[in-house]
């Protein structure tokens, strides 16, 4: 990398001129020359916010680099014997031999060409660069490669085995203390942690990468534009966080925390979770003279309503053309379970005269997710939004059928208490493993505005859970216990 360092001082001054040229002549297309020869491509260089971007393949090809493109990950990889450069479309962080660099502009796709900042290219590939303002030309000179010293013949290096998924993120949960818990199963190495400084457009960002790690189907399926993003208010440590499948080869799960100023943090790993903890947000519970500290039960705060009746919308997940999860060996489908439990819960709830239940589906049909949201936001025949929204589901993890248990999801802060109340009822009623209350951006709970939760009652992929879910007696008990918890929440 000495060749990179030797050119930095030349490049630094030069790109002040390039940035200036971009401001005064953004409509002019710069011309590119490599070793005196004009580079011709079907996509011209462009100037974006003072930064000149050039087609990566054109320059790297003339230097003898190999360029690979991963369409699924939207990632370009440039390779030679000593250097590996990875750039992802839309990401302002690039990697050179696994070392991260922050780019002045994120790479972009123009007519299927990967456009990258020329400054980054010149620094990494060791190019000498000259800018001619009068003719608006960029002159690139390839580095002089020393005559290689003969080396003894070595046995061929075996081709490395492609990375496999060794761990799976099962949940990303913000605790009451303001710490972020990333639950996982499988074998996980030490997280890779980077701190990106604040700039004109972004706060400081804590980036945590989990190598050889993917997400559960449910979490991955909830991504919107490739990620789940949570915005927070009133937290001393952060303004929000997001998580995504940053790379598919190698498999990297990424969590990004948007930090407030002056925050200290610590990232630790246990056998089941990665914990991101912050200063000033971990509070000791008062000591109890008896030696035990019972968990206090929160006083329910029912949603505001102008009626004497609370309107509850129950959403039986999937249906019709979408069977959801399944247990093929037992011949069970998620859509059958969700409708069965929904109808039983409706019957239990409507025994209380202060509750009126509305169903997004009452038979084997499939309302689109947007239709379910619209239904809850403006109940047909009622003309108002629901006071409570509950979406009922069953989970699945076919690659590891040993995974089991009950979990409850919410997205907005106004839904947290509802989630805790119904989750406690499910755990008590069925006795399945407690997979906790979690946050996730499922469309039906993200885009509804009333208190809303999504119940993953158990895992259909787990034979033991599946038998419990389809046990008629246990369904009746669960419906009765869930109804009681909602009466408690609504204080009716």
The answer to whether the beta carbons of residues 410 and 416 sit under 8 Å apart is yes
* Residue 87 C-alpha from the chain's centroid: 19
Q: How far apart are CA 358 and CA 470, in angstroms?
A: 23
- CA–CA gap between residue 413 and residue 417 (Å, rounded): 8
CA distance 339 to 127: 64
Relative to beta strand 332-333, strand 355-359 is unpaired
pLDDT(353) > 60: yes
Determine how many CB atoms are found less than 10 A away from the CB of residue 457. 27
Higher-pLDDT residue of 486 and 400 is 486
pLDDT of residue 208: 95
Residue 2 has pLDDT above 70, yes or no: no
pLDDT digit string, tens, across residues 197-215? 888 888 889 999 999 999 9
- pLDDT above 50: residue 469: yes
- Report yes or no: 426 and 420 within 8 Å, Cβ to Cβ: no
Model confidence at 218, pLDDT cuts 50, 70, 90, reads confident
Q: Is the pLDDT of residue 468 over 90?
A: yes
Burial of 212 by CB count in 10 Å (0-12 exposed, 13-18 middle, 19+ buried)?
Answer: middle
Q: Coil, strand or helix: which one is 487? A: helix
Would you say residue 125 has pLDDT above 50?
yes
**72: its two tokens:** 């699924």
pLDDT above 70: percentage of residues in the chain: 81
pLDDT (tens digit per residue) in 128-147: 777 777 777 777 777 765 55
Banded model confidence at residue 20, pLDDT cuts 50, 70, 90: very low
- Kindly report the number of other CB atoms within 10 A of residue 185's CB atom: 16
Ramachandran angles phi, psi of 150, nearest 5°: -55, 135
The model's pLDDT over 27-75, given as tens digits with 9 standing for 90+, comes to 567 777 877 788 777 777 777 776 777 787 776 666 667 788 888 888 8
User: Helix, strand, or coil here: 412?
Assistant: coil
CA distance 141 to 129: 6
Range scoring the smallest mean pLDDT among 117-121, 123-127, 292-296, 310-314: 292-296
Give the strand order in the sheet containing 66-70: 66-70, 75-79, 84-88, 93-96, 99-102
Q: Note the pLDDT tens digit of each residue in 94-104.
A: 888 777 777 77
**pTM (2 d.p.):** 0.45
Q: Are strands 93-96 and 84-88 parallel, antiparallel or unpaired?
A: antiparallel
Residues annotated as catalytic are 456
Peptide bond into 250 cis (omega under 30): yes
**The pLDDT value given to residue 275:** 85
Taken in order of first residue, the domains within the chain and their CATH numbers are 2-141 (3.30.457.10), 167-278 (2.60.40.3500), 310-490 (3.40.630.40)
370's tokens: 């947007």
Share the mean pLDDT of the chain: 81
Residue from 37, 246, 257 nearest 138 by CA: 37
Question: Which residues are CB-contacts of 215 (< 8 A; sequence separation ≥ 6)?
Answer: 168, 169, 243, 245, 253
> What single string gives the DSSP state of each residue in 237-292?
SEEEEEEEEEEETTEEEEEEEEEPTT--EEEEE-SSEEEEEETT---PPPP-TTS-
Taking residue 472's Cβ as centre, other Cβ atoms within 10 Å add up to 9
């Amino acid at each position: 990398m000495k060749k990179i360092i030797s050119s930095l001082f030349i490049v630094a001054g030069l790109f002040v001129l390039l940035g200036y040229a971009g401001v005064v002549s953004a409509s002019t297309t710069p011309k590119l020359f490599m070793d005196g020869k004009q580079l011709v491509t079907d996509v011209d260089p462009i100037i974006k916010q003072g930064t000149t971007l050039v087609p990566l393949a054109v320059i790297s090809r003339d230097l003898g680099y190999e360029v690979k493109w991963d369409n699924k990950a939207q990632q370009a990889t440039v390779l030679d014997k000593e250097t590996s450069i990875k750039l992802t479309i839309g990401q302002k962080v690039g990697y050179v031999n696994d070392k991260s660099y922050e780019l002045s502009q994120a790479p972009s796709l123009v007519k299927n060409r990967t456009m990258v900042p020329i400054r980054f290219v010149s620094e990494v590939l060791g190019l000498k660069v000259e800018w001619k303002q009068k003719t608006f030309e960029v002159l690139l000179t390839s580095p002089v490669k020393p005559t290689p010293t003969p080396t003894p013949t070595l046995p061929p290096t075996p081709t490395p085995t492609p990375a496999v998924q060794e761990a799976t993120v099962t949940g990303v949960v913000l605790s009451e203390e303001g710490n972020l818990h990333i639950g996982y199963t499988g074998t996980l190495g030490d997280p890779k942690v980077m701190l990106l400084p604040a700039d004109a457009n972004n706060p400081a960002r804590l980036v945590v990468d989990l190598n050889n790690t993917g997400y559960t189907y449910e979490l991955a399926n909830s991504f919107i534009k490739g990620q789940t993003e949570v915005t927070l208010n009133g937290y001393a440590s952060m303004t929000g966080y997001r998580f995504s499948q940053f790379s598919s080869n190698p498999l990297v799960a990424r969590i990004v925390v948007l930090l407030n100023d002056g925050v200290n943090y610590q990232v630790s790993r246990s056998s089941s979770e990665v914990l991101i903890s912050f200063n000033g947000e971990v509070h000791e519970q008062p000591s109890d003279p008896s030696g035990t500290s019972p968990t206090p039960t929160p006083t329910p705060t029912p949603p505001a309503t102008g009626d004497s009746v609370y309107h509850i919308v129950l959403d039986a997940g999937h249906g019709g053309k979408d069977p959801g999860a399944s247990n093929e060996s037992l011949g069970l489908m998620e859509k059958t379970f969700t409708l069965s439990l929904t109808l039983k819960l409706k019957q239990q709830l409507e025994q209380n005269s202060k509750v009126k239940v509305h169903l997004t589906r009452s038979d084997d049909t499939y309302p689109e997710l947007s239709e379910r949201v619209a239904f809850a936001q403006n109940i047909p025949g009622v003309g108002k939004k629901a006071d409570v929204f509950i979406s009922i589901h069953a989970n699945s993890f076919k690659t590891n059928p040993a995974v089991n248990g009950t979990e409850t999801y919410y997205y907005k802060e106004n839904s947290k208490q509802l989630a805790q109340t119904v989750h406690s009822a499910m755990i008590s009623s069925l006795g399945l493993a407690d997979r906790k209350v979690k946050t996730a951006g499922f469309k039906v709970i993200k885009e509804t505005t009333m208190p809303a939760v999504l119940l993953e009652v158990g895992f259909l992929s787990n034979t033991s859970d599946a038998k419990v879910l389809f046990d008629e007696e246990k369904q009746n008990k669960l419906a009765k216990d869930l109804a009681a918890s909602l009466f408690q929440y609504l204080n009716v």
